[in-house]
Structure 1
Amino acid sequence: MNQPKPPPPIVTAQEPSGSTHIRSFVHRRAHITPSQEQAIASWLPRWAITYQNHLLDLEAAFGRQAPTILEIGFGMGETTQQIAQARPDDNFLGVEVFNAGVGALLKRIHEHELDNIRIIQHDAVEVLRDMIAPNTLAGAHIYFPDPWPKNRHHKRRLIQPAFIQLLASRLAPGAYIHCATDWEHYAQQMLEVLSAEPGLQNTCTDYAPRPDYRPLTKFENRGLRLGHGVWDLIFTRRPQGDDAHDTKAD
């Protein structure tokens, strides 16, 4: 008599590794579809990198030497997939904590036969601190992070001075940080925090026009039709010697 097959395993972000920083996410049991579950079971070993407390060899992880862009909080992976398709000469390292998003992006990677995306399912602060060497990244994408709109929750927002100092130290000179949000107050905070980081310089007077490489999502299009604003910010890492911070900051 045939025994029923067990359901595919569901992975979760690993437990914190001793950090005391305020997290920009909370663990919750979100809905995950059968196809996302199956993608995790089938493709996680191929395209995911396990968090470890030592520096990641990016060339070994991607099987080639190429500029690497870090994307923090890729959601369902639609934007990640489209940018990676449009920029095949770049590597994209996506960091996300939620199972549904990881499963969705794994499915997209498989369906579109993409070889330039890798996933780490873990807290982005710890990934940056422990796995990314200083002066390494060619860019960083942070699109529509949780705005934590209530005043008492603003401390949970990802874009804070300590985080941006850490992220800036992991960028190569001339590399960029690209943030986008549809919350005006958060956009103002982003502009203030990024502008205050001595290692960065704004590419515009304040907010930047949306670059062609960042596609409009369905959610964003719907918001624009309703008259909601979207704010992009693009900053670059100053040349070596112009930084006020030691690039080994953590």
Structure 2
Amino acid sequence: MTSSRQTPPFHRSVVSYVQRGERMTVGQERAWDRHWERLGREVKALPDGPVDFAAWFGREAPVLLEIGSGMGETTSRLVAAAPELNYVAVEVYKPGLAQLLMRAEALEATNLRVLRGDAVDLLTEHVEPGTLDGVRIFFPDPWPKKKHHKRRLVQPGFVRLLAGRLRVGGTLHLATDWEHYADQMLAVCSAEPLLRNLHDGWAPRPDWRPVTKFEQRAVEEDRVSHDLMFTRVEG
């Protein structure tokens, strides 16, 4: 396997996620023990070079990456609904990944692989340019205080990195229920020359995307959720 290490196009001085406790329930522990060795990898432990997703899944299929799968309730349903995809979820929270593995097992979904660690490290060092068919980022941490906006994941450098990893025609799908973050997402993605908005501004909320707990909370708090869908164009 050849190395894809390179000078990272995007570097964060602070991470965009909160480190949480790693204590797991009995069910999560069992799911982890049953599935992690076959279905999971630590980003920091990956060998140099790109991940061979076809070999890992045991088949050639479009690869979709979801960044920040949380506790997996929505992700597991999306995985089960799209058996034609090689669905990869990257998340830093171990109990969340264990819960996702447990939910996917209950739905008899076999097309899921999970990675624990920083999505920036994964994309920079272990995903070849032009290989992803889609990327989803649903309800990332909004960091609502102005002084914390620099911690938000969707920044120009990160979007440039994402766009470069998408194949031409691949799709970037974002969703948030924080208006100011939605505006930032729209501005940042619209400014990236490798991306084109598939809609005139916001995308219609797709029927296939399950309502997350964050989205339900937004409804209860009178916040409007926004979806954005961009496609990768020729550079």
* Alignment correspondent of 2:42: 50
How many Å separate the matches in 1 of 2:96 and 2:66? 13
In structure 2, the gaps of 5 or more residues are 1-7
Larger radius of gyration: 1
Q: Deviations over 1:40-75 (max 9, x none)?
A: 122111211232232011110111111111000000
**What are the equivalent positions in structure 2 for 1:95-244 lying under 5 Å apart?**
95-238=90-233, 240=234, 243=235
Q: Given the alignment, which residue of 47, 56, 59 partners 2:54?
A: 59
Residue 165 of structure 1 aligns with an amino acid whose one-letter code is: R
Q: Given the alignment, which residue of 28, 33, 36 partners 1:41?
A: 33
How many Å separate the matches in 2 of 1:147 and 1:225? 17
Residue 209 of structure 2 aligns with an amino acid whose one-letter code is: R
Q: How far off its partner does 1:234 sit?
A: 0.4
Report which stretch shifted further, 41-50 or 131-140: 41-50
Q: How far off its partner does 1:34 sit?
A: 2.1
Q: Secondary structure at the match of 2:65?
A: strand
Q: Cα RMSD over matched residues?
A: 1.7
Q: Secondary structure at the match of 2:42?
A: coil
How many Å separate the matches in 2 of 1:103 and 1:160? 29
Change (3 A) 1:26 1:221: closer
Same amino acid, percent of matched pairs:
47
How many Å separate the matches in 2 of 1:39 and 1:140? 26
Give the number of aligned pairs: 223
Residue 91 of structure 2 aligns with an amino acid whose one-letter code is: E
* Alignment correspondent of 2:65: 70
Report if the CA contact (8 A) 2:88-2:115 is conserved.
Answer: yes
Report if the CA contact (8 A) 2:139-2:214 is conserved.
Answer: no
* Alignment correspondent of 1:25: 17
Report which stretch shifted further, 76-85 or 62-71: 76-85
How many Å separate the matches in 1 of 2:186 and 2:231? 13
* Alignment correspondent of 1:10: none
Report if the CA contact (8 A) 2:79-2:104 is conserved.
Answer: no
How many Å separate the matches in 1 of 2:221 and 2:51? 43
In structure 1, the gaps of 5 or more residues are 1-17, 244-250
How many Å separate the matches in 2 of 1:148 and 1:226? 17
How many Å separate the matches in 2 of 1:42 and 1:87? 23
Scaled by the length of structure 1, the TM-score of the pair is 0.84
Scaled by the length of structure 2, the TM-score of the pair is 0.90
* Alignment correspondent of 1:91: 86
How many Å separate the matches in 1 of 2:156 and 2:116? 24
